[in-house]
Amino acid sequence: MAKREYTDYQKNAISNYYKNVDTIMLGKLSEMVSELYLAETEAKAKRLWQRVEKAMVQLKVPDVILEHIMEKKDVNILAKNIQEWQSKK
pLDDT at 4: 85
What 3-state DSSP class applies to 1?
A: coil
Give 10-residue mean pLDDT values along the chain (89 residues): 86 94 94 96 97 96 97 97 91
pTM of the prediction?
Answer: 0.84
d(CA 4, CA 19): 21
CB 24 within 8 A of CB 18: no
pLDDT at 10: 95
Residue in 53, 58, 63, 65 with CA at minimum distance from that of residue 22: 58
d(CA 34, CA 56): 16
Largest CA distance in the chain: 48
Domain spans in the chain, listed from the N-terminal domain onward: 37-89
